C-alpha cells in the first residue's frame, strides 16, 4: 500500500488535459496527470497542431494585450479586423448547420478571450499568424478569417510551455500509464484502474478529469461509427487516441453525445506518415491552399467547390470528400500565377510535388485519366468569369456553367510551369463524445452530473458537427480544460478524502 494525496487525476497530457491540471492546481488541489504514451510522445494531438487558436477579440488593441511585443511601427503595417463574439458564434453555427449545442457553443465563444489571457498568465506565448492568415495588400499585412493568433512554435511550443508550467506548479505526471476503468461508490467517483509497467494499479481519488481524446486512431471504432472507408485514412496525430476515455465514461453511465458518425479530417500529403510522427511535428503535411486550386481525382474530374469559402471553414470537411474518391487520392492543380501565393507547407522538402512546363506533360506524370484530366481543365478555363482576383477576401471571381462551380478565386490555369500536389484524407479527431455541461461536468443519461467526473477537449461531444471553424478545436480544449479543472478542484476540495494507491 503506497499512500498518495491526489485530489484530482487528469487522464491525458495534451492541451485540454494540461489546462485542466493547471487550473485545478491553481485552486489548491493536488493533481496527478496520467499519460498513456512515453515522455517523448507526450502532448496528444495538440503536439501536431499548427498552433492557430480562434478567439473573439475587439480589434488590434486586444491582440496587442496578448502579444505585447508588437511595436507601434509594426501595428501601423498590419490590419486585424474585429472578430466579435457574435461573429465567432455565427461562424460556428453556420459551418455546423445549426447543430452545435447552443449552450456549449456560447460558453466556448464567450470564454475564449478570457482563456487566452489566462493561458498567457501561465507562460503560454502567442504570435501573429502571419504565415497562414494574412496577405500583403497596399503595403499592409491584411489578416483574414478571424484567426490572427497562434501559439509560439506551433503545437510543439504550446506543449513545451504547458509542461514547464506543470513542473513549476508541482504537478506530478506518470508516463506510460494507461487508464482502463473508472470505479464509483454511492454514485461518486472513487478510483481509477491503470496499467503501468505490466501491472494493474487502482488509484483512489476524489475527482477525475478525462481529457484523453477521441477514437480516431482506432481502426475498429472508426469503421464502426464513421464508416468502413475510414480504415484508409491517415491518422494525423497521436497513435494513442483509441477511445479509452470514452469507453470508460460510457461504462459508468455517461451519455453518448454529439456526432459519432463525424470527424475532423483534411487533405494531407499523399505520402504523409500513417500516424503522427513525433520527429516531424507542426502539421507540416497538410495542403491548405486548395481554395486557390482546382482539385481533380484519378478519373480526371473535379468533385468540390474549392472556392466555396475561406479554407478555415471548409478544410475540416473536404478531407472526407477526398476519401470518397478512387484510391482515396486527389490532385491539387496550380499554375505559375498562383504558385507564389501558396502556403509554406508547399515548399517543404516533405511535400510531394509534380511539375511540368505544359498541362499535357503534367498529365503524363500522373496516374490519372489523361484525356479527361485535360478536358476538365479546359472546361474550367472556359468557365472562369472576369473580375478582380483577391485572395484576402471572398472576391466573387467564380465560374459559370460547370458543376461543381468554383465560387471564388477562379483563375484560368494557363501559365506554365504547372504543379500537381497529390493529397489523401488525414483524420484529425472524431466528433463523437460524451455529454458535459458548461462547466465540464460529465452528464448521465438523465443529464444529471456524475459526481466527481469531468471531461474536456475532444471528448466533449455536441460542439462540432460535419465541420468546424479552423482553430476552434484548440480553443475548445483550452476553454473546457480550464473549466473542467476548476470545477474538479471545487468538487474535490469540498469532498476531499484520503487517497491510497494499491
| 410-459 pLDDT tens trace | 999 999 999 999 999 999 999 999 999 999 999 999 999 999 999 999 99
C-alpha to C-alpha distance for 113 and 115, rounded to whole angstroms: 5
Beta carbons within 8 Å of 98's beta carbon, 6+ residues apart: none
Q: Is the preceding omega at residue 48 within 30 degrees of 0, hence cis?
A: no
Cell of 479: 476553454
Distance of CA 429 to the CA centre of its chain: 7
pLDDT value of position 501: 41
Give pLDDT < 70 ranges for the chain.
Answer: 1-4, 497-502
Element (H, E) at 374: helix 370-383
Which three cell numbers, joined as nine digits, stand for 96? 455546423
Nearest-angstrom CA–CA distance, 262 and 467: 9
Buried b (16+ CB within 10 A) or exposed e, 305-319: bbbbbbbbbbbbbbb
pLDDT on residue 4: 63
Q: What is the pLDDT of residue 461?
A: 98
Q: For strand 256-257 and strand 433-434, is the pairing parallel, antiparallel, or unpaired? A: antiparallel
CA dihedral over 385, 387, 388, 394, signed as positive or negative: negative
pLDDT score at 285? 93
pTM reported for the whole predicted model: 0.90
Q: How far apart are CA 52 and CA 472, in angstroms?
A: 9
Amino acid at each position: 500500500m503506497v499512500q498518495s494525496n491526489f485530489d484530482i487525476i487528469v487522464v491525458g497530457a495534451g492541451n485540454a488535459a494540461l489546462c485542466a491540471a493547471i487550473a485545478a492546481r491553481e485552486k489548491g488541489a493536488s493533481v496527478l496527470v496520467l499519460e498513456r504514451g512515453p515522455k517523448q510522445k507526450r502532448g496528444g494531438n495538440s503536439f501536431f497542431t499548427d498552433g492557430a487558436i480562434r478567439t473573439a477579440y475587439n480589434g488590434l488593441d486586444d491582440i496587442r494585450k496578448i502579444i505585447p511585443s508588437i511595436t507601434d511601427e509594426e501595428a501601423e503595417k498590419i490590419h486585424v479586423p474585429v472578430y466579435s463574439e457574435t461573429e465567432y458564434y455565427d461562424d460556428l453555427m453556420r459551418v455546423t448547420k445549426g447543430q452545435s449545442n447552443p449552450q456549449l457553443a456560447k460558453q466556448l465563444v464567450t470564454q475564449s478571450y478570457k482563456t487566452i489571457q489566462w493561458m498567457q498568465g501561465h507562460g503560454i506565448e502567442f504570435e501573429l499568424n502571419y504565415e497562414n492568415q494574412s496577405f500583403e495588400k497596399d503595403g499592409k499585412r491584411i489578416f483574414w478569417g478571424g484567426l490572427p493568433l497562434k501559439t509560439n512554435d506551433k503545437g510543439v511550443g504550446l506543449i513545451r510551455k504547458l509542461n514547464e508550467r506543470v513542473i513549476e506548479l508541482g504537478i506530478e505526471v506518470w508516463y506510460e500509464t494507461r487508464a482502463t476503468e473508472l470505479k464509483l461508490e454511492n454514485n461518486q467517483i472513487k478510483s481509477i484502474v491503470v496499467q503501468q509497467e505490466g501491472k494493474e494499479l487502482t488509484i483512489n481519488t476524489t475527482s477525475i478529469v478525462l481529457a484523453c481524446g477521441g477514437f480516431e486512431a482506432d481502426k475498429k471504432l472508426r469503421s464502426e461509427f464513421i464508416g468502413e472507408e475510414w480504415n484508409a485514412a491517415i491518422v494525423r496525430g497521436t497513435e494513442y487516441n483509441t477511445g479509452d476515455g470514452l469507453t470508460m465514461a460510457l461504462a459508468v453511465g455517461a451519455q453518448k453525445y454529439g456526432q459519432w458518425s463525424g470527424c475532423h479530417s483534411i487533405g494531407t500529403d499523399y505520402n504523409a506518415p500513417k500516424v503522427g510522427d513525433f520527429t516531424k511535428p507542426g502539421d507540416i503535411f497538410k495542403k491548405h491552399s486548395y481554395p486557390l486550386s482546382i482539385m481533380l481525382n484519378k478519373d480526371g474530374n473535379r468533385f468540390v467547390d474549392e472556392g466555396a469559402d475561406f479554407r478555415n471553414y471548409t478544410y475540416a470537411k473536404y478531407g472526407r470528400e477526398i476519401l470518397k474518391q478512387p484510391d482515396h487520392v486527389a490532385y491539387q492543380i496550380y499554375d505559375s500565377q498562383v504558385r507564389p501565393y501558396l502556403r509554406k507547407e508547399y515548399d517543404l522538402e516533405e511535400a510531394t510535388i509534380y511539375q511540368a512546363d505544359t498541362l499535357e506533360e503534367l498529365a503524363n506524370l500522373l496516374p490519372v485519366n489523361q484525356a479527361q484530366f485535360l478536358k476538365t481543365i479546359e472546361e474550367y478555363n472556359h468557365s472562369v468569369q472576369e473580375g478582380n482576383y483577391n485572395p484576402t477576401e471572398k472576391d466573387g471571381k467564380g465560374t459559370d456553367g460547370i458543376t461543381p462551380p468554383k465560387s471564388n478565386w477562379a483563375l484560368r490555369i494557363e501559365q506554365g510551369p504547372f504543379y500537381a500536389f497529390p493529397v489523401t484524407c488525414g483524420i484529425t479527431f472524431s466528433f463523437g463524445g460524451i455529454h458535459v455541461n458548461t462547466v465540464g461536468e460529465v452528464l448521465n443519461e438523465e443529464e444529471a452530473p456524475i459526481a466527481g467526473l469531468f471531461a474536456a477537449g475532444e471528448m466533449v461531444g455536441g460542439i462540432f458537427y460535419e465541420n468546424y471553424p479552423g482553430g476552434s478545436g484548440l480553443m475548445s480544449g483550452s476553454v473546457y480544460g480550464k473549466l473542467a479543472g476548476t470545477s474538479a478542484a471545487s468538487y474535490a476540495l469540498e469532498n476531499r478524502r484520503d487517497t491510497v494507491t494499491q
